[in-house]
Structure formats: C-alpha cells, structure tokens
Amino acid sequence: MNPDGLLVVGDLSDGDLRLTKRIAALPLPLAVILGNHDRGHDKSGGILRQQLALLGEHHCAWSLHGWARPPISVVGARPCSSGGGFHLSKAVEAIYGPVSREQSIDRIVQAAAQVPDDQPLVVLAHCGPTGLGSEPDSPCGRDWKAPFVDWGDQDLAIALDRMAQRRCADLVVFGHMHHQLKRGRGLRRSLLLDRRGTAFLNAACVPRKGVDASGRELIHFSWAEFKDVHLSRLSHRWYTPNGELTHEESLPLPDLVSC
C-alpha cells in the first residue's frame, strides 16, 4: 500500500480510546479531525479531552498541519461536527469554549493563509460544507428523514469562499454522511467538483471493513494523488489486511484549473 500520509475524518469508535491509540502510533505522516461520535456520551468533554491528548499534534482542528515529505498542507475545520449548519456540542464547548460561527470561520481562514503557494492545500473536516446539494444522495444531503435538505457545515462553506479570495482549496476531504443511503435508497455521491476547481471527497464508506465473494477480508480507503500542487488522481480502494490492492473505483477528474 505504502501511502505518503494518512488523513482521518473522524468517528473512530464512539469514544473508545483503543483505536485512537493505534492510529496515533502509526509510523507515517498523519492528520486527524475528530467526529461527533468521538466524544462518546460524555457531555463534560472528558472523553474528548483524552482523545485529543492521545493524538497530540496529529489533531488539526482549526489549525494548519504541514508535512515536509511529501510537501503538503492540511487545514483542519471545526472538530466533532454533527452537520446541519453550525452547532457546538457541550463536550466541544467544555474544551474550546463557546466558539461562534464567525470565530470558527476566521480560524479556518487564518490557518489557510499560512499555506505556502508551492504546496497542495487540503482541508480536512468531519462533515463537508453546505452548498453541495440538498438531495438525499448529495455529498452532505440529509437522507434519514424528509424533507431532504443540505446538511453541511455553514462555517466551512463560508471559510472556503473567503479562502478563495487568496487561493482555493485543492481538495476538501470529509466523512460523517455515509455512502450507503438510509432505507435502501442507493449510494451517495462521494465526489463533487466545483467551478473553482476544488474537489470535495466524502470518504465515509461504512462499514469500512467487509469481505469479498471468496471470503477475504477487505478494508476501504479513499486515495488521493498530487502532481506538484495539482490534484491528479482520486479513487476508492479496497485492500486486504496485508496491503494487497484488490479493487479500485477511480473517480473522474477533468482538467482542473485552480483559482
């Protein structure tokens, strides 16, 4: 498999710390944004605080996380988002304070302003931004009850617009909204390309583990490649536990022109 780095979009294990410990110990460049399930059922913020302590500098909420090899800049969005506009849980408030929507926007934009021009700009979020569609199969569309609406994050959408005044994000990676739609409605669109050249990738294949027709265990990863600062390849991949690639679903990327 041999990736250059790993991005983790959150919802690791409903507050269980064992997987967090294993992820934090991985010997490769790593950036993590925690999801709404990672606070467990603890409104005090105690479990979330333990998650953050284990991840240390790997957790990139509202900050810039840079890698030297390969040269890439990862900007973290709001942690533990549940989607649906803008809302902070009690656990997040206990740790970060009563952050307003405007403050969240400013933190994302300020982190992005530090990205060198010669590095890819990747935004890592738990839930994607508003503006990607309001159908149940949209990348952030609410599919579990009618009316079907856009369930993305408002602060992230506004931050991306403001960032574009200087430079557009090359790739926005998120999860939260599962690929498999509720009540057998089919599959969610996992890729959207906007007019500015930004690619939005929903990586929430749930469950991430499965078996093929012959009974082999398979693990899903979303895969991204850059050539210099330009996104050159996106796909969903399935691997065996020993790293053998068994299937790849390439996601179409037309010639993108960054703003």
pLDDT in tens, 77-131: 999 999 999 999 999 999 999 999 999 999 999 999 999 999 999 999 999 999 9
Which conformational region is residue 84 in: left (phi greater than 0), alpha (psi within -120 to 50 degrees), or beta? left
Quick one: average pLDDT of 144-169?
97
pLDDT for residue 259: 64
Residue 139 in this model has a pLDDT that exceeds 90: yes
Residue 258 in this model has a pLDDT that exceeds 70: no
As beta bridge partners, residue 65 has 74
169 confidence band (pLDDT: 50, 70, 90): very high
Mean pLDDT (the chain, rounded)? 94
Which residue in 76, 187, 86, 189 sits closest to 132, CA to CA?
189
pLDDT in tens, 3-41: 999 999 999 988 889 999 999 999 999 999 999 999 999
Q: What is the dihedral of CA 38, 129, 121, 89, to 10 degrees?
A: -30
pLDDT for residue 251: 94
Using CA atoms, how far residue 156 sits from 39, 141, 149, in Å, is 21, 15, 17
135 confidence band (pLDDT: 50, 70, 90): very high
Which residue in 64, 63, 53, 51 sits closest to 14, CA to CA?
51
Domains in the chain, CATH or no CATH each:
6-251 (3.30.750.180)
How far apart are the C-alpha atoms of 134 and 140, rounded to whole Å?
8
Answer yes or no: pTM beyond 0.85: yes
